[in-house]
């Protein structure tokens, strides 16, 4: 058996989140379908996290196993040729069978973009949240040191989780 990870970028506007859901098109559903077309024995797909409907990602990580030893260059090329234009395989690499895409994560980064309603350039509308009020940028400036940087989110873990939060 061989385990591989895929580093996927996507524009999530047309998807109902990352995780598979019956009756809805999701990022994982599309990725899994394409990978299985190229590597029919691929199985045990698992994603590094979840996203909501319409969320975008620069590097969502997916793991799977296969009996085959893969030519990464050819497989990456084949997958990208079949993925829709709003999904892209950035990189692919083999990992140890003990690797777990959730428990092995070193960090996660989230970016939130806001703008005042009516002031968003048309080409950015899928990437920012418009708000219905006048933004007081002085308040954002005073809060940025509190919300930016590395934070300990231990209290937000699942009960019984052994994962470490920095």
Dihedral (CA of 112, 118, 121, 126) sign = positive
Query: What residue spans of 83-160 are helical by DSSP H?
Result: 137-147
> For residue 25, which of 33, 34, 16 has the smallest C-alpha distance?
16
Give the integer Cα–Cα distance in Å for 135 and 117. 10
Q: Which of 14, 22, 41, 52 is catalytic?
A: 52
Give me Rg for the CA atoms of the chain. Answer: 19
Tell me the DSSP string of 94-112.
EE-TT--TTTT--------
> Which is it for strands 114-116 and 2-10: parallel, antiparallel or unpaired?
unpaired
| 152 catalytically annotated | no
Q: Catalytic amino acids?
A: 52
């Amino acid at each position: 058996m061989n385990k591989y990870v895929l580093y996927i970028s996507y524009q999530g506007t047309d998807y109902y989140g990352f995780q598979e859901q019956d009756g809805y098109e999701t990022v994982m559903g599309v990725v899994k379908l394409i990978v299985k077309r190229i590597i029919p024995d691929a199985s045990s797909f698992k994603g590094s996290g979840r996203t909501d409907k319409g969320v975008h990602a620069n590097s969502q990580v997916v793991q799977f196993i296969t009996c085959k030893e893969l030519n990464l260059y050819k497989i990456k090329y084949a997958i990208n040729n079949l993925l829709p234009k709003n999904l892209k395989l950035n990189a692919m690499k083999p990992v140890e069978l003990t690797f777990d895409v959730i428990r092995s994560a070193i960090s996660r980064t989230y970016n939130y973009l806001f703008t005042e309603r009516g002031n968003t350039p048309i080409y950015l509308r899928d990437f920012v949240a418009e708000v219905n009020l006048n933004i007081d940028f002085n308040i954002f400036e005073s809060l940025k040191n509190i919300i930016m940087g590395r934070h300990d989110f231990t209290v937000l873990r699942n009960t019984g989780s052994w994962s470490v939060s920095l």
